[in-house]
A and B are shown apart, each in its own frame.
Chain A
């Protein structure tokens, strides 16, 4: 009896922690929608949204009220079931990925030995959100956007996986806690610099962020795959994009910047600071770089990034074998 109550307490505590992380990730993604606009204003010599509340702090509330009360319209020519399902996939697959990220030495949902593979699996599922959303809309622009998104995500996921294999080889584990522990002395960005570069590019491409936002290019596709979406369904795609941004930033911090490691400050503060810096970098990329043509982007992925990751992996493997003491 006593044992079962203790078990119950442990389970409840873990659930509360998981819920807190879920809510935190969602809130961070929502706040990013406003922070991004303020930062874009900063870099474009404007003020950005600063009207609602003191210094625009309540802009998020205004946005939420607006998007929740908008008409949620499903086109009569759409495939209803898939049309409703697509935004759910977009949010759910990304939210689930937050499960594997170790925020502090004690906080985190799943301490899992296939952690990184789970992220790849969820990134693979996430493609369906765009694909089904674009197809079920029954709109040619949406379909074109979905086709671009699929081709882009598939190509960039190939070397996104390969770019992290160097990290996995150095740490000797897929578990993100082990990877962070292995960066106690030296952050992996130093030995895995090319892995970092390619993963950053792939991360931007997989989340369809600028400059790799061909799937939703306004000028050519009039917003791409979510052109027929409105109300909270569009909001889920929209927040999903920022969730992806937060997720990739947190993953880069975990994999290349030593996770929570850092002097003086508490671990979580270090993790938050590094993640915030990467989020700012994401916005800076949007503020400065133009969108490349779609075929050039694909050829960049296959002809530059893929060989780079393969060479990086080869050299990493050779170095590990060279430096390690001969086994048996």
Chain B
């Protein structure tokens, strides 16, 4: 025990010195409300519903996000427009249950539902954490700037018949034998 006393004491003193030098380092924490916190573009925060480049709603009410959601915080109803497009008649996310896992975004076939770098959404009443469609809908395309579901999908809507979408051939007539 006595022989190791001097190196052990030196080790303790060195530790003291090293910790003391931390007084002059840069702070790791930020003074949050005054100083903004850096959030990466891929940060998973508040969920929004985006529009396609033409300004139409992207969501086609396929319910895949509601199925993918592990905490069942998404609820929506399908509606159908005059021109044949599907849209959510209502869309509701309960953010007091949401765990911001991003699975809805991965499940979405139309890039409609997206997570944004924003977490400042505290409320005094829990009921205020339930966001309706008008709270979720934004005016831009979000992260996916060019994607336009009905222009690439084969579904016929008013003004676009079968086979008129981008990179789409006219539908094959299965009743004829000609190639």
Residues of A within 8 A of B (CB): 42-47, 50, 284-285, 287-289, 299-300, 303-304
With A304-B1, A304-B5 in contact, is A288–B18 under 8 Å at CB? yes
A47 to B27, CA, bound (A): 7
Of all chain A residues, the one with the shortest Cβ separation from B28 is A45
> Closest approach, in angstroms, between the C-beta of A47 and any C-beta of chain B?
6
Return the 3 tightest CB-CB contacts between A and B, nearest first. Answer: A288-B19, A45-B28, A288-B15
What bracket does the count of chain B residues touching chain A fall in? Answer: 10 to 19
B26: which of A45, A299, A303, A304 is its contact (CB, 8 Å)? A45
Of all chain A residues, the one with the shortest Cβ separation from B15 is A288
What is the total of A-B residue contacts with beta carbons within 8 Å? 39
> Closest approach, in angstroms, between the C-beta of B54 and any C-beta of chain A?
48
> Closest approach, in angstroms, between the C-beta of B101 and any C-beta of chain A?
30
A50 to B28, CA, bound (A): 15
A47 to B23, CA, bound (A): 10
Q: Is the Cβ of A284 less than 8 Å from the Cβ of B28?
A: no
Q: Is the Cβ of A289 less than 8 Å from the Cβ of B15?
A: yes
Q: Which residues of B contact A299 (CB under 8 A)?
A: 1
A300 to B5, CA, bound (A): 10
Which B residues, 14 to 48, have Cβ-Cβ distances below 8 Å to chain A?
15-16, 18-20, 22-23, 25-29, 31
> Closest approach, in angstroms, between the C-beta of A243 and any C-beta of chain B?
24
A243 to B131, CA, bound (A): 53
Q: Verify if B96 is at the interface (C-beta below 8 Å from A).
A: no
Q: Is the Cβ of A45 less than 8 Å from the Cβ of B16?
A: no
Q: Verify if B124 is at the interface (C-beta below 8 Å from A).
A: no
A192 to B164, CA, bound (A): 97
> Closest approach, in angstroms, between the C-beta of B32 and any C-beta of chain A?
10
A45 to B29, CA, bound (A): 7
Q: Which residues of A contact B2 (CB under 8 A)?
A: 304
Residues of B within 8 A of A (CB): 1-2, 5, 12, 15-16, 18-20, 22-23, 25-29, 31
> Closest approach, in angstroms, between the C-beta of A18 and any C-beta of chain B?
36
Q: Is the Cβ of A288 less than 8 Å from the Cβ of B16?
A: yes
Q: Which residues of B contact A42 (CB under 8 A)?
A: 22-23
With A289-B12, A304-B2 in contact, is A47–B19 under 8 Å at CB? no
A32 to B78, CA, bound (A): 63
A46: which of B5, B19, B27 is its contact (CB, 8 Å)? B27
A289 to B18, CA, bound (A): 11
Of all chain B residues, the one with the shortest Cβ separation from A46 is B29
> Closest approach, in angstroms, between the C-beta of A301 and any C-beta of chain B?
12
Q: Which residues of B contact A303 (CB under 8 A)?
A: 1
> Closest approach, in angstroms, between the C-beta of A228 and any C-beta of chain B?
33
> Closest approach, in angstroms, between the C-beta of A2 and any C-beta of chain B?
59
Q: Is the Cβ of B31 less than 8 Å from the Cβ of A45?
A: no
Q: Which residues of B contact A289 (CB under 8 A)?
A: 12, 15-16
Q: Is the Cβ of A43 less than 8 Å from the Cβ of B20?
A: yes
Q: Which residues of B contact A44 (CB under 8 A)?
A: 22
Q: Is the Cβ of B22 less than 8 Å from the Cβ of A43?
A: yes
Q: Is the Cβ of B20 less than 8 Å from the Cβ of A284?
A: yes
Given A44-B22, A288-B18, 15 further pairs, Cβ under 8 A: A43-B19, A43-B23, A45-B26, A45-B29, A46-B29, A50-B31, A284-B19, A284-B20, A285-B16, A287-B19, A289-B15, A299-B1, A303-B1, A304-B2, A304-B5
A43 to B24, CA, bound (A): 8
10 A-B pairs within 8 Å (CB atoms) are namely A42-B22, A43-B19, A43-B20, A45-B25, A45-B28, A284-B20, A285-B16, A300-B1, A303-B1, A304-B5
